[in-house]
C-alpha cells in the first residue's frame, strides 16, 4: 500500500484498473449481438494495455467478468468463455514476445475447466515479462476476494496487519491501483477491487468500452497527473 505525498501532480500511475463496461450497449446500438460487443471489447482491452505499457504503466488490471456476471444467460457466457480461450491461446505468444506477463485473478473454479488449464499455461508461458503485467479479472468479486483472504487468515490462526492482509488477496504482491477507469456511464464500482482501491483515483467516462481509444486513455492519464493524492494528510 502506498502512502505519503510522493504520488502528487505530474506523476504516472504505476497501476491502472479498468472496468470495461458498455460492450452490450455498444453492440445494441449497432444492431449486433452482445457477443460482438464483447469481442470488440477484448480487442480494445489488449490494445489499451499495450498502449499503457508504452507510456510506462507497469500493471493493467481489466475487469472482464464479475462473479455476479456468471448469472447471465448461458449463450452470452459461452461467447465470453470462447473469447477467453482465444485470448489465452493467441495472446500468450504475442505478449511473451512483447515482454508482457499475463495474470488472472478471480475464482477460476467457477469457469469451465479447460479455461483454468489455458490460464495456467498462459501465465507460465509469459512469466518474467518485464515490460508490464496484464491482469485479467474473470469470475472476480471484490467481496469474495476479501472473504477468501479473511478465511485464509483465520486458518493461519493469527491476527494480520494491513500489509499481511493485502498479501493474502488475489492481487498479493501487486501494488494497489493508482487510477481506476470505468467506461460505459455507470458511476459505481460493481464489486471490483474493493480493498485495493481505498485510495485509488477514479475516472468515469460515458464512452462505451469498445469505443475507448488510446487517445482517451491518454486523457485519463493527463487527468490523473493533475490530481493531488493526499491519503488523508493535509
Ligand atoms: C461489460 O459489458 C462486460 C461484462 C460485464 C461481461 P456489459 O456486458 O456489462 O455491457 P452493458 O453494460 O450491457 O452495455
Ligand atoms: C461490471 O459491469 C463488471 C464488468 C465490467 C466485468 P456490470 O455491467 O456487470 O455492472 P453493473 O451490473 O452495471 O453494476
Ligand atoms: Mg454492464
Query: Residue 206 falls within a domain, yes or no?
Result: no
Query: Residue 102 falls within a domain, yes or no?
Result: yes
Report the C-alpha dihedral over residues 185, 190, 193, 199, rounded to 10 degrees: 60
Query: Residue 19 falls within a domain, yes or no?
Result: yes
Q: Which residue has the cell 501532480?
A: 9
Q: In the numeric block, which cell numbers belong to residue 46?
A: 489488449
Query: Residue 100 falls within a domain, yes or no?
Result: yes
Atom number, ligand 1, closest to the C-alpha of residue 65 = 6
Contact 92, 125 (CB under 8 A): yes
Paired sense of beta strands 100-105 and 59-66, if any: unpaired
Contact 153, 165 (CB under 8 A): yes
Query: Residue 167 falls within a domain, yes or no?
Result: yes
**CATH number of the domain encompassing residue 141:** 3.40.1180.10
Nearest CA residue ID for atom 8, ligand 2: 21
Kindly give, in sequence order, each residue whose CB lies less than 8 Å from that of residue 220, ignoring residues fewer than 6 positions away. Answer: 179, 181, 203, 205
Angle between helices 34-54 and 74-86 (to 10 degrees): 30
Nearest CA residue ID for atom 1, ligand 2: 190
The rounded Å distance from CA 74 to ligand 3 centre is: 16
Number of domains in the chain: 1
Q: Give the binding-site residues of ligand 1, using a 6 Å CB cut-off.
A: 20-25, 65, 69, 80, 184
The rounded Å distance from CA 191 to ligand 2 centre is: 9
Residue of 18, 19, 24 with the most ligand 1 atoms within 8 Å of its CB, for mutation: 24
pLDDT per residue rounded down to tens, the chain (234 residues): 444 444 454 699 999 999 999 999 999 999 999 999 999 999 999 999 999 999 999 999 999 999 999 999 999 999 999 999 999 999 999 999 999 999 999 999 999 999 999 999 999 999 999 999 999 999 999 999 999 999 999 999 999 999 999 999 999 999 999 999 999 999 999 999 999 999 999 999 999 999 999 999 999 999 999 999 999 999
Contact 35, 78 (CB under 8 A): no
pTM, two decimal places: 0.95
Atom number, ligand 2, closest to the C-alpha of residue 190 = 14
Query: Residue 216 falls within a domain, yes or no?
Result: no
CA pseudo-torsion sign 229, 196, 46, 99: positive
Query: Residue 76 falls within a domain, yes or no?
Result: yes
Angle between helices 113-126 and 74-86 (to 10 degrees): 30
Query: Residue 28 falls within a domain, yes or no?
Result: yes
The rounded Å distance from CA 208 to ligand 1 centre is: 9
DSSP letter for 88, please: I
Annotated catalytic sites, by residue? 21, 69
Domain interval for residue 122: 15-186
- N- to C-terminal Cα separation, the chain: 19
How is the beta sheet containing 15-19 ordered, strand by strand? 100-105, 132-140, 59-66, 15-19, 179-182, 201-204
The rounded Å distance from CA 188 to ligand 1 centre is: 13
Contact 138, 69 (CB under 8 A): no
Amino acid at each position: 500500500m502506498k502512502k505519503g505525498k510522493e504520488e502528487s501532480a505530474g506523476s504516472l500511475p504505476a497501476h491502472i484498473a479498468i472496468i470495461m463496461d458498455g460492450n452490450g450497449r455498444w453492440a445494441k446500438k449497432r444492431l449486433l449481438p452482445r457477443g460482438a460487443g464483447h469481442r470488440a471489447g477484448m480487442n480494445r482491452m489488449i490494445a489499451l494495455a499495450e498502449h499503457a505499457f508504452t507510456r510506462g504503466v507497469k500493471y493493467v488490471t481489466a475487469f472482464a467478468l464479475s462473479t455476479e456476471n456468471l448469472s447471465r444467460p448461458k449463450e452470452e457466457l459461452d461467447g465470453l468463455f470462447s473469447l477467453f480461450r482465444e485470448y489465452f491461446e493467441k495472446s500468450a505468444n504475442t505478449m511473451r514476445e512483447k515482454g508482457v506477463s499475463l495474470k488472472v485473478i478471480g475464482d477460476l473454479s467457477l469457469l469451465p475447466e479447460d479455461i483454468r488449464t489455458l490460464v495456467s499455461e498462459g501465465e507460465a508461458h509469459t512469466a518474467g515479462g518485464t515490460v508490464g503485467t496484464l491482469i485479467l479479472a474473470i469470475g472476480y468479486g471484490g467481496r469474495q476476494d476479501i472473504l477468501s483472504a479473511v478465511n485464509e487468515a483465520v486458518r493461519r490462526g493469527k491476527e494480520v496487519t494491513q500489509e499481511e492482509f493485502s498479501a493474502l488477496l488475489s492481487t498479493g504482491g501487486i501494488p494497489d491501483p493508482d487510477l481506476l477507469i470505468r467506461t460505459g456511464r455507470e458511476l459505481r464500482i460493481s464489486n471490483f477491487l474493493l480493498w485495493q482501491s481505498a485510495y485509488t483515483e477514479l475516472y468515469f467516462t460515458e464512452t462505451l468500452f469498445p469505443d475507448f481509444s488510446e487517445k482517451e486513455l491518454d486523457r485519463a492519464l493527463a487527468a490523473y497527473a493533475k490530481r493531488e493524492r493526499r491519503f488523508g494528510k493535509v
